[in-house]
């Protein structure tokens, strides 16, 4: 299948999962994970109907922005973000998915305040708080038991708006195992929703190419799909 056909098939699967969950397909945002894809491919995806794109790497985001690759789509940052690279991302994307510490949130807030001082109006950066739902040492994210305390502190920061939560669960052997992690995230999402900004739609970002249907069944509002849309990634050494 070409890219347009793959996109249509993913949209069909999203609609099927939504119907099974008693939800509407338009409740779920399909975000194209464009890691390693060149600017021409990103433009093609947008021309085919992709409405949101997400980058994992700051360098790729910066390079493709310079090439106007994302024109016509909402741009998200979905990868791990280091504090020393916040200035290259904050204010340039509609949503940062991977805020996992108070230190990072403070740096984003500080950067946005500086940008607001240079602009005529106050600017906000919308963020998601990343949760390490599987307690994996190899992954970023706040532990579930520390989520509420972190949200309380982030909610006090100026120029930030908490939109919701994000997770990358452990690799599951079965669909039921994947659903258990997603179900836990939905419980956390519902419990902590009072900390989310009332000015913006709330987002539960979970589910990728191999498990986005299970994520939708458990309440995901945004799925991050790369390989299923673009094919296996090719890494250049």
Residue 58 lies in a domain: yes
How far apart, in whole angstroms, are the C-alpha atoms of residue 151 and residue 39? Answer: 35
pLDDT of residue 136: 87
117, pLDDT greater than 80: no
pLDDT number for residue 9: 97
Give the pLDDT band (50/70/90) at residue 118: low
Range(s) of the domain holding residue 169: 3-230
Q: Does residue 32 belong to any structural domain of this protein?
A: yes
Residue 236 inside a domain? The answer is no
pTM: 0.95
Least confident window among 46-55, 131-140, 189-198: 131-140
Does pLDDT of 153 surpass 60?
A: yes
193/163 Cα distance (integer angstroms): 9
3-class DSSP assignment, residue 198: coil
The C-alpha atoms of residue 205 and residue 208 are separated, in whole angstroms, by 9
Q: Which residues does 169 contact at the CB level (< 8 Å), separation at least 6? A: 133, 134, 178, 181, 182, 185, 206, 211
165-181 pLDDT, tens per residue?
Answer: 999 999 888 989 999 99
Percentage of the chain exceeding pLDDT 90: 88
Task: Confirm whether 149 is domain-assigned.
Answer: yes
> From residue 136, how far is each of 131, 142, 144, 171 by CA, in Å?
11, 11, 12, 11
**Chain segment 23-68, per-residue pLDDT in tens:** 999 999 999 999 999 999 999 999 999 999 999 999 999 999 999 9
Q: Is residue 235 part of a domain?
A: no
- What CATH number is associated with residue 209? 3.20.20.10
| Count of domains observed in the chain | 1
């Amino acid at each position: 299948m070409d890219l347009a056909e793959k996109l249509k098939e993913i949209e069909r699967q999203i609609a099927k999962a939504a119907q099974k969950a008693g939800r509407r397909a338009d409740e779920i945002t399909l975000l194209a994970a464009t890691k390693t894809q060149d600017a021409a491919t990103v433009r093609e995806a947008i021309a085919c109907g992709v409405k949101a794109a997400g980058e994992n790497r700051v360098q790729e985001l910066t390079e493709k922005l310079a090439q106007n690759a994302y024109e016509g789509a909402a741009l998200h940052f979905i990868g791990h973000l280091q504090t020393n690279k916040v200035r290259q991302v904050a204010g340039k994307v509609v949503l940062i998915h991977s805020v996992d510490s108070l230190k990072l949130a403070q740096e984003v807030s500080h950067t946005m305040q500086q940008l607001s001082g240079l602009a005529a109006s106050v600017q906000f950066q919308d963020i998601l708080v990343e949760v390490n739902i599987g307690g994996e040492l190899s992954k970023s994210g706040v532990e579930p038991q520390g989520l509420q305390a972190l949200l309380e502190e982030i909610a006090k920061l100026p120029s930030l708006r908490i939109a919701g939560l994000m997770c990358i669960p452990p690799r599951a052997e079965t669909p039921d195992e994947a659903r258990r992690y997603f179900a836990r995230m939905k419980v956390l999402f519902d419990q902590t929703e009072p900390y989310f900004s009332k000015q913006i739609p709330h987002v539960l970002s979970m589910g990728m190419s191999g498990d986005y249907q299970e994520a939708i069944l458990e309440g995901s509002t945004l799925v991050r799909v790369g390989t299923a849309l673009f094919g296996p990634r090719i890494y250049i050494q």
